[in-house]
Amino acid sequence: MTFILKIHALPVGCSDALALNEQAVYRSSMKTPVSVLRLPRGPEPNSRGFDPSSPRFIALCCSSSSSSDEEEQRLRSELRQRFLWTLSVMRDKLVQFDMHERVRVRARFGASDIDVLRFQVSDLETPLGVQREALLRCQDVLSCSFEL
């Protein structure tokens, strides 16, 4: 049985791995990079949140119902658990990565960083030769597959 994991380009600054399952695949062209969003500071230097009387806080908190928020959070949590389980199953397995420009490489999967921006692999088989250790940028990977 072959398991295929689709990896999609994330906007710059986005660290939510669950968005990988929610975005469409863009194989034909790269999207324009998105600028980094800088959030405003809290009301005090030692504050852990935003001013509850600010228009931004009111708009974000009052715009949706709590039951739909709880359901969305439950679904996102489930997707996150599945994604992390997949990463743990991939450990030490031979994985094929499909990259931009129709490049296919194979390597033994090692780990991912906490933001899922890079994959650490061993014995990377590329069209130019074999690299003993390498880091693959997730922005360059369209999908990866491995045998269960």
DSSP string computed for 99-147: EGGGEEEEEEEEEE-TTS-EEEEEEEEETTEEEEEEEEEGGGEEEEEEE
Domain limits of the chain? 1-9+69-148
Local confidence band at 103 (pLDDT 50, 70, 90 cut-offs): very high
| Residue of 108, 95, 110, 109 lying closest to 143 (CA atoms) | 95
CATH no. for 1-9+69-148: 2.30.30.100
* pLDDT surpasses 80 at 74: yes
What does the mean pLDDT of the chain come to?
A: 76
Residue 108, amino acid: R
What's the number of CA atoms in the CB half-sphere (13 Å) around residue 15?
A: 6
Angle (CA) 8-9-14 rounded to 5° is 115
Average pLDDT of the residues in 82-93 = 91
pLDDT tens figures, 1-56? 666 666 655 555 444 444 444 443 344 455 666 666 665 665 555 555 666 777 76
- Contact criterion met (CB below 8 Å) for 23 and 8: yes
Residue 54, amino acid: S
- Contact criterion met (CB below 8 Å) for 1 and 147: yes
Could you give the C-alpha distances from 35 to 12, 27, 39, 63, 136, in angstroms and in order?
7, 22, 13, 25, 22
